[in-house]
Structure 1
Amino acid sequence: MKLKLVAGVTAASIGLVGAPAPAVAGPEPGRFTQVDEYLNAYAEQNDLPGLAAAVIGPDGVEHKHLRGVDGNGDPITEDTSFLIGSIAKSMTATIVMQLERQGKLALDEHVSDHIDFLPDGDPTIRQLLTHTAGFTIADGIAAADRYDNEPGAIRRAVESLEHSGTVDEYAYTSADYLVLGAIVESITGRPYGDVLKSDLLEPLGMHDSAADEQAAEDLPPGHRFWWGQPVRHDPDFDESGTPYASVTSTLTDLGTYATAQLRGDAIPADIREQTQQSWVKSSKHHYGLGWSVTELHGKPIVHHTGANPGYFSHVYLVPDQGRAIVILTNAYSEARGPSLVAGAGDIWRILEGEDREPAASDAVLSALSWILTAVAACGLALAVLSLWRPAGRRRRFAATAACLLVGAVLWLLPGFFGYDLRALRIWLPDGAWALIAGLVLWVLASLLWLLPAGTHHRFTHRAPTRSRPAPHTARSLGLS
């Protein structure tokens, strides 16, 4: 893959120069070389066809790393478009806080104060922003990836929502931000994508970012993984998912957005303060309004990852240093998620003087598609074996029960990972088709084992039919 490195780019090239950032010491000489080495290893370990990354400091862009090609085979540049996934949630939170600042909503108002088509539950806007509204991960997955670009897409998605969780209990889910998108549409009287463009993207100078199907026409295909290999994936845009995931951007534009979230007046300081503080605090989760909030080496870290089928992104802010790290890739799988997520934090640690290596992928998810393929092959083998099975009724019934048990486990497996089969086909395509094949083959094997003994032999080894002699009539014997 072609490698292109650009360092020392000025703040003007990122499109936004804000108020003075905190005075901090810059990275030690040679650290950006280590960043490049890390990103090369990161791309190779995760089989990424293309990657774009930037380090933004108090005075603007300090370093860029552009590597590989997009889904059309063109070199990755700072203006290549990627889907940015759940980073869109922080944009929705910013839009909501703008409306709150204008007096058009209050965070403690309920959903029913603005829309009347949420099927169940009536959380507050604050609960939606902090993922404590009572929607579950499964509720969000069931309403996501609709690829609906017709007028009213967000409303239709909201109308399909289930509300199966516990209010005031943290559960990260896209359902919350889907409902927020519907509230924004209700207040403004405009499609959410139009509001996002006119009230945030355009004022920030993010002219190459898109929030609707027409504007996203130039998005290059991403890549999903089939048995460990990246395969080109050209997804449809999904305007019903714009409030939480369906936004495209470039390294330049997302760098502009990260800078605006650190300093300046483009996003008012009071909005940044409210969205970037931790409203949900527990031993496992710290979440602001559209941002994950944590602490590393005594410094607050504000960040969010984003994943779409075929793309991964990460915006990582260190407000005390006025520094941000942006990563965009054109490939994604759930198995590679832990490694991809660790990248931005690892880069910041390298800049702080640490030595880091890319994290490992999830071993279970990496093996899952191969395991399901092997299970499907076993189902095929048992179906064939049934042709020569023992004749005993007890053994036939035991084999049938065992096959049905395996089929039931396969049927229930997606739910164990929090997916339905439709979502599994989108996010883990190889595993989904291996699971479908396995389910069909194991149920087929159960039916074949249930057939009475000898049935297959009669079907496949039917004795040849003997021709009967012509009847001997009395006339033919000369007796008449």
Structure 2
Amino acid sequence: MTESSAPLEANEATRKTGSAHAAEPFDELLPATRRALSHRLGTAQAEGRAPSLVGAVVREGRTVWTDARGSVGDREPGADTQYRIGSITKTFTAVLVLRLRDEGLLDLADPLDKHLPGTGVGEVTVAQLLTHTSGLASESPGPWWERTPGTLRPELSDVLGEEPLRHPSGRVHHYSNPGYTLLGSLVEAVRGASWETVLRREVLEPLGMARTSVQPLPPYADGWAVHPWADVLLREPLEDLGLMAPAGQLWSTAQDLGRWARFLAQGDERVLRPESVAEMRRPAAAPDSETWDAGYGLGLQLVRRDGRTLVGHTGSLPGFLAALWVSVEDGVAGVALANTTSGLMVGGFAADLVRIVAEREPGMPAPWQPMAEADPELLALTGPWYWGPAPFALRLAAGRALELVPLAGPGRASRFRPAADGTWTGLDGYYAGETLRVVRGDTGSVSHLDLGSFVFTREPYEASAPVPGGFALGGWGPARSVTGESGG
């Protein structure tokens, strides 16, 4: 068994505040927390009958705990032992596609045919492929693609088959491995280089993920199947997935996935800006029910567990199980890697690692600090505003940002970033993407706020304001009919 504290480069608390005076990260977990994590790992490995299991916890961008149980060959695994991560690979492919979008080389609404013609499913959009709403089949036709060589599927037509669609495009979430094969081929077509080359050059090298690779690099774990009724093993074949690689080919380590967890929580301008990574984390596909506990963003799985939202992905290939979950709100991530085909609930185990740390050692908030300076005109905008009779408060944040929050009961809250033309753009909630502007009267004084055509005034239904202002029906007072007569 091993435990380590391996510092990584970034500090999430500093990133949140943009200040060198932000709260320092916790360098060490409490002994009782480490004991609880190791006990959970040992229980998972024993009950799941996994030849080996590695776990890691990342807090505020730093790997603060790793441990392992079992063996790989004649040695004990560790945070630097490679395991196959299966569909966690999809999160890397999605980042490559978002990079193309941010560079203006494609739009997520583009049909596939615009960039990768001749597939036979060119009407599906890039966004639909990312979110598994394209309607494509879950698997490739023919022999089980995860356990057979990729040479059996040398062309995209072999991956898709004669009837690739199972549902109308854009209607339902239907997980599709061939969909991510198409995204990998899309990256190759736009970049003019192989998916592997683009991934290494644009993501792995900038993030220092030298132990994440398409082919295994020693030390790595062998993949095993465990007999369901006896404690004996069967070695699983190690196959190169060929064209299907962007859906599940990668190998990685607990330490490298800790770096990836940090990236999924905060972004990295060298790879993908924080705003685009946040976009990936938002639900993009309609959930199966109103009380959803699982969803999908742009290449990321989302689950709600233990009262918190986790983003990341699980992965499996014959001989391997993997999971990576990040709680952005808690600043905690859990990583799990095992070399068994089935039997271990690796996603639940990784989620438990997050829960144990978040509940036992909740993060400290960054200390409050006053703004260095504030525009008097913006200060004058703060305070109560009314949408009709509903009270809201407008707050000023650093960098001329604004926040609108309801003051009584539920309401539409949103944050706004300033634009060069003197307006603000909504970042989240109902007003995401909508424009907030300050409207002034003939004298130059502020008349009202216009938020996507909704008028906010300093007084409820202020008479001088435009729609819905004015007192055409008599103004405030006791209840009365329009004609001035009581009903009856």
Shorter-chain TM-score bucket reads 0.5 to 0.7
Q: Which residue of 1 aligns with 2:381?
A: none
The CA deviation string for residues 25-54 of structure 1, in whole angstroms up to 9 with x for no partner, is: 966651221111111010001111111111
What is the RMSD of the two structures over their aligned residues, measured on CA atoms? Answer: 2.7
Q: Which residue of 1 aligns with 2:46?
A: 44
Q: 1:340 aligns with which of 325, 336, 346?
A: 346
Alpha-carbon separation, structure 1, partners of 2:206 and 2:176: 28
1:143/1:332 CA distance change after superposition, 3 Å: closer
Map 1:201-280 → 2, pairs under 5 A: 201-211=204-214, 213=215, 219-228=220-229, 229-263=232-266, 265=268, 266=270, 267-280=272-285
Q: Which residue of 2 aligns with 1:11?
A: 7
1:224/1:141 CA distance change after superposition, 3 Å: farther
Q: 1:307 aligns with which of 299, 306, 316?
A: 316
The CA deviation string for residues 326-363 of structure 1, in whole angstroms up to 9 with x for no partner, is: 11111122xx25x2221111222223448xxxxxxxxx
1:240/1:73 CA distance change after superposition, 3 Å: farther
Q: Which residue of 2 aligns with 1:349?
A: 355
Alignment of 1:74 onto 2:75 = yes
The CA deviation string for residues 150-177 of structure 1, in whole angstroms up to 9 with x for no partner, is: 6994645445362222322111121211
Amino acid across the alignment from 1:279: A
Alpha-carbon separation, structure 2, partners of 1:306 and 1:119: 28
Map 1:15-414 → 2, pairs under 5 A: 16-19=9-12, 20=14, 30-58=32-60, 60-70=62-72, 72-120=73-121, 122-139=123-140, 144-145=145-146, 147-148=148-149, 153=154, 155=156, 157-158=158-159, 160=161, 162-168=164-170, 169-211=172-214, 213=215, 219-228=220-229, 229-263=232-266, 265=268, 266=270, 267-282=272-287, 283=289, 284=292, 285-333=294-342, 336=343, 339-353=345-359
The answer to whether the 8 A contact 1:5-1:66 is kept is yes
Please, which runs of 5 or more residues in structure 1 have no aligned partner? 355-480
Alpha-carbon separation, structure 2, partners of 1:38 and 1:65: 11
Secondary structure of the residue aligned to 1:118 is coil
1:115/1:216 CA distance change after superposition, 3 Å: farther
Amino acid across the alignment from 1:57: R
Residue 147 (structure 1) shift: 4.8
Secondary structure of the residue aligned to 1:316 is strand
The answer to whether the 8 A contact 1:21-1:322 is kept is no
Secondary structure of the residue aligned to 1:306 is strand
The answer to whether the 8 A contact 2:312-2:326 is kept is yes
1:234/1:142 CA distance change after superposition, 3 Å: closer
1:245/1:192 CA distance change after superposition, 3 Å: same
Residue 140 (structure 1) shift: 7.3
Residue 119 (structure 1) shift: 3.0
1:293/1:121 CA distance change after superposition, 3 Å: same
1:227/1:136 CA distance change after superposition, 3 Å: same
Residue 233 (structure 1) shift: 2.2
Structure with bigger gyration radius:
1
Secondary structure of the residue aligned to 1:76 is coil
Please, which runs of 5 or more residues in structure 2 have no aligned partner? 17-22, 361-488
Residue 217 (structure 1) shift: 7.8
Residue 277 (structure 1) shift: 0.8
Secondary structure of the residue aligned to 2:199 is helix
Q: Which residue of 2 aligns with 1:391?
A: none
Alpha-carbon separation, structure 2, partners of 1:209 and 1:353: 31
Residue 303 (structure 1) shift: 2.2
Residue 24 (structure 1) shift: 9.9
Q: Which residue of 1 aligns with 2:486?
A: none
Secondary structure of the residue aligned to 1:181 is helix
Residue 292 (structure 1) shift: 1.2
The answer to whether the 8 A contact 1:47-1:230 is kept is no
The answer to whether the 8 A contact 2:211-2:217 is kept is no
Residue 250 (structure 1) shift: 1.1
The answer to which structure has the higher helix fraction is: 1
The answer to whether the 8 A contact 2:2-2:68 is kept is yes
Matched residue count:
341
More RCO (CA 8 Å, sep 6+): 1
Alpha-carbon separation, structure 1, partners of 2:224 and 2:40: 22
The answer to which structure has the higher strand fraction is: 2
Q: TM-score, normalised by structure 2?
A: 0.64
Amino acid across the alignment from 1:69: S
Amino acid across the alignment from 1:200: V
The answer to whether the 8 A contact 1:18-1:260 is kept is no
The answer to whether the 8 A contact 1:84-1:306 is kept is yes
Alpha-carbon separation, structure 2, partners of 1:289 and 1:37: 34
